[in-house]
Structure 1
Amino acid sequence: MTRRDVGAILFDKDGTLFDFDATWSVWAANLLVRLANGETSRARKLGDLIGFDVEQARFSPDSFVIAGTPDDLVDTLSPEFPELSRTQLFTLINNEAESAPMAEAVPLAPLLDHFLAHDLCLGVATNDAERPALSHLEEAGIRDRFAFVAGSDSGFGAKPAPGQLLAFCDAIGVHPHRAVMVGDSTHDLIAGRTAGMLTVAVLTGLAEAPVLAPHADVVLPDIGHLPAWIGLDELGARPKSDGNRRVPTG
């Protein structure tokens, strides 16, 4: 088995590490009902604004929320809540996001440990805000596997711009051409291509393969198929290196 020349993997969070629909549909429904003070008709109107069907509890595949930032959401909802400042609305959204139920796309801890055992450095680049992103990783018990975690408010910009991706490569000392960007949206993949990284699309978000394929080196069902694509030993097999290291984060 030939291993690709890959030294690092950068993951999107929502729709990649965690199943998007199972996680964020619950969050959106709770947020909209809370904002609407329980008024169904108002919650429905707010849902229409962000591409979310309150009755079905599902996002439209073209909803900007899927790959957007909390600031994008604040921009859209602010006119509906003149009594709230942008900061207040942003805080409310982030507080609700921190309590969103995280549904792992695949069992994450053994998969991430498998990558680390093969001396791959790992990071997360999300358009979510940094605080809820860290909370979600902590809740899943995987925060310590990542050498780098950046959100849209971490100072590197947001995808599809490549700032987070280039910051990751700079922080860990790996050239972008030896790094892989893994994501479920065109924002992730465009950012990866712009940064000069390999790009892997996964289908655990809402975007379908024909939408993602033009921007990806490969489209996989989920991140559990990454080891085979990279050319690693099977999950659970002892690597030839004496790795199994975890990279502490500051």
Structure 2
Amino acid sequence: MKIDLSGQTALVTGATGELGRVIVRTLAESGADIALHYHSNETKAAELKNVVEALGRRAVAVQADVTKQDAVQALKQSIETSLGHVDIVVANAVAQYKWTSVLEQPAEDYASQFDSCVMQSVYLAKAFIPGMIERKGGRFIGINTECSMQNFPSQSAYVAGKRGMDGVYRVLAKEVGEHQITVNQVAPGWTISERERTNGIAESSDYIRNVPLRRRGTDQEIANAVAFLASDLASFITGAYIPVNGGNVMPAI
């Protein structure tokens, strides 16, 4: 068996980010054409488009604020003009902010997390799932986090946004399953990315002490899980929250 996404088009939001870039490359290596969403890093988006095209796949880079419904609809139109319909949606973009305690966290940080985790997913669903229903199939994948199960101090805004996102995905999976559309979430742990490989990997002894596999995962390992869920190999998996973190958190029954 192999992951074969030939003939499929995937949209990856936040494509220019550390994890987004690896997801894009992995999906392209699996045969998918790629719609690269970016918010502000146009230079990196252009570089990534060249990477995808060098792999023999079609690609388009589209700027949008995915926390705005009209911008997501415009994103959809741009993609369809260049590549046609989207078969795979990967909601990877998320707003960045400084973490602190509930008492000190600015209220706007909670709003930004709600917008970038919950509303991004809602707007993407409204834009792309109707077409998947017409075609009787599709993949809708969200990047969640192990933090949703940890609830550690200073994580409140992030956890609130990602837990809200989790609720949307679980309900959506039940609403669209009859159309052979799967809706799943990948939940990374503290992941080693290209930035750390370049600048030095952070000390992680306290973290890995509680990880059964006794190491941190890599961006490629997260991307592999996304590619699997995007493929026909995962055709009977939906409504899942899948930690990719060496067992650091384990959902219970």
Which TM-score bucket, shorter chain as reference?
A: 0.3 to 0.5
Normalising to structure 1: TM-score of the pair? Answer: 0.42
Normalising to structure 2: TM-score of the pair? Answer: 0.42
Which structure is higher in RCO with an 8 Å CA cutoff and minimum separation 6? 1
